[in-house]
């Protein structure tokens, strides 16, 4: 899944964009259902957050669904993270 997200942040073909949307949708589901084992693995990847959020910094080419999914993941992470 990380490979799909990473490639989605670089390439903008229709197929890659569709795969990226699906991968982001899966991530939203993981965060909404609080699948801790998967979340720990994803958070442990050094490339995860920069790769996931990189399309937010690029102009155009990304669907509203993909951008909304990324924002949902980021906001849920902020909400559920225990800040001390």
Residue 78 burial class via C-beta count within 10 angstroms: exposed 0-12, middle 13-18, buried 19 and up: exposed
Mean pLDDT of 46-57: 85
CB atoms within 10 A of CB 69: 23
Tens of pLDDT, residue by residue over 53-79, are 887 887 766 788 888 999 999 999 999
User: According to the model, what pLDDT value does residue 27 have?
Assistant: 93
Mean pLDDT of 22-35: 92
**Short-list 47, 41, 65, CA closest to 10:** 47
User: According to the model, what pLDDT value does residue 70 have?
Assistant: 93
pTM of the model: 0.77
**pLDDT at residue 9 greater than cutoff 60:** no
Mean pLDDT of 21-49: 90
Alpha carbon separation from 45 to 3, 5, 18, 48, 62 (Å, rounded): 12, 13, 23, 5, 24
């Amino acid at each position: 899944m990380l490979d799909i997200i990473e490639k989605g942040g670089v390439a903008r073909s229709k197929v890659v964009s569709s795969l990226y949307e699906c991968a982001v949708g899966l991530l939203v589901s993981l965060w909404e259902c609080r699948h801790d084992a998967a979340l720990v693995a994803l958070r442990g990847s050094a490339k995860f957050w920069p790769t996931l959020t990189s399309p937010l910094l690029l102009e155009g080419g990304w669907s509203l669904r993909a951008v909304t999914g990324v924002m949902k993941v980021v906001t849920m992470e902020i909400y559920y993270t225990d800040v001390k």
